[in-house]
Structure 1
Amino acid sequence: MAPALDSGAFQHNAIGALDSAVSTSRVAALALDARVDERITAAYADTVVTEAEEAIGPVEASFGTVDPPDPALDQLRREVLDQLGTTGDLLAEARIAVRRGDSHAMRTVASELRRTADTMDQHAEALQ
């Protein structure tokens, strides 16, 4: 672990992590919607969702290893890590739903991914 050089660098790191998670969430939600509507195959949906799930881990790990330079940023660190963790959990649920062919679960998870992405997007914008 290493500390961020200053508060601005830490916030920039948080914004980058959130932006990555927003993109990953939205791509997975689109794949789920397309699968439910039978616009893509189960194999393709599985690939997209699995790759999204695999992509979120390094984002979470990378952000989690940077120490906030100031105790005032501890709350920001917790919030971002919570949001990244929620995203990872939802992506795991998406993978399971696709592999089971569970359209209802795919719709539900897609909706939750969009809601989480919106929350993270708003959080990132508030940090800028």
Structure 2
Amino acid sequence: MRAARWLAAAACLMLSGCVVPAFDTGAFERNAIGALESTVSTARVAALALDARVGNRITLAYADTVVTEAEEAIGPVEASFGSVDPPDPTLDELRSAVLDQLGDTGDLLADARIAVRRGDSDTMAALAGELRRTADAMDQHAEALQ
């Protein structure tokens, strides 16, 4: 009976699109770690593609596909993490910090997409470095939460 009520409540929340709180601090921190780790991987792949394009080791079309898909991958991560309310006010700062890092990464990826399509090697090289630094910072943030 209890499981049925839980499933019914979960289904109602999913169907209504409500934002729900994480059940405890640990769950919220695990969500933050997951969002950061996912974005770290995405940023690193995009940086590799930029470096490869600057070195003429991949085609423009392939670099564009990799960077565009990386940019598109950030949105759902950001939306998913952003839709979970922190269970208490002490986690508001964590929520803001993670969302800022995700947003900054998305902005860098948008700039990278534009640079790839313009064939701007200098900007691609600079953005590859920025993406690596951003990925390192997110990685350190995720490790600090563990």
Compute the TM-score of the two structures, normalised by the length of structure 2: 0.87
Equivalent position to 2:106, from 88, 101, 106: 88
Question: 1:78 is aligned with what amino acid?
Answer: S
For 1:2 and 1:29, how far apart are their aligned partners in 2?
34
Q: What SS does the corresponding residue of 1:38 show, helix, strand or coil? A: coil
Q: Tell me the distance in 1 between the aligned counterparts of 2:44 and 2:67.
A: 11
Q: Which one has the largest radius of gyration?
A: 2
Cα shift at 1:93:
0.4
- The aligned residue for residue 120 of structure 1 is 138
Counterpart CA distance in 2 for 1:19 and 1:41 is 28
Letter in structure 2 aligned against 1:18: L
Counterpart pick for 1:11 among 24, 29, 39 = 29
C-alpha distance in structure 1 between counterparts of 2:97 and 2:64, whole Å: 29
Taking only aligned residues, the RMSD between alpha carbons, in angstroms, comes to 0.2
Letter in 1 for 2:52: A
1:112 Cα deviation (Å)?
A: 0.3
Aligned to 2:65: 47
Q: Which runs of 5+ in 2 are unaligned?
A: 1-18
Structure 1 unaligned residues grouped into runs of 5+: none
Between 1 and 2, higher relative CO (CA 8 Å, sep ≥ 6) is seen in 1
Q: Which aligned runs of 4 or more in structure 1 are off by greater than 6 angstroms? A: none
Q: Say which of 37, 41, 49 aligns to 2:55.
A: 37
Q: Distance in 1 between the 2:113 and 2:51 partners?
A: 13
Deviation string, structure 1 residues 87-121 (Cα, Å, up to 9, x no partner)? 00000000000000000000010000000000000
Structure 1: distance between partners of 2:37 and 2:105: 12
